[in-house]
């Protein structure tokens, strides 16, 4: 097992969002979230957005790859996904931006 970092443009899946989704009888994927695997996390890792770069602890990773930015088309796609979310979820969303979302193999 090893750690994987996903640099995304969007918003992370949080425990608050998971609770709201669960109470509605849905899964995060039903609302467009990408759910990632983790064998040890208390919360389900995931995000709503686009993955720009992925790296893991087993490879040497140039920091220049961390300067990635989403294209205008990717920004618009993420905003479209956010706009479709129920108001209850929009209320607890983090700010749309660049995030590192961690998962495991």
Element (DSSP H or E) covering residue 53:
strand 46-56
pLDDT tens for 3-35 read 899 999 999 999 999 999 999 999 999 999 999
pLDDT exceeds 90 at position 38: no
Closest to 104 measured CA to CA, from 40, 48, 12: 40
List the chain domain ranges.
3-104
Closest to 53 measured CA to CA, from 15, 94, 98: 98
Cβ atoms of residues 70 and 15 within 8 Å: no
pLDDT tens for 51-69 read 999 988 877 877 877 788 9
The model's pTM is 0.90
């Amino acid at each position: 097992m090893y750690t994987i970092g996903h640099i995304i443009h969007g918003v992370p899946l949080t425990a608050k969002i998971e609770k709201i989704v669960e109470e509605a009888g849905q899964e995060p994927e039903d609302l467009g979230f990408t759910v990632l695997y983790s064998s040890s996390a208390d919360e389900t890792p995931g995000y709503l957005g686009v993955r720009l770069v992925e790296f893991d602890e087993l490879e040497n990773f140039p920091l220049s790859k961390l300067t990635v930015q989403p294209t205008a088309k990717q920004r618009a796609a993420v905003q479209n996904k956010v706009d479709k979310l129920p108001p209850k979820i929009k209320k607890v969303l983090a700010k749309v931006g660049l995030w590192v979302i961690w998962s495991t193999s």
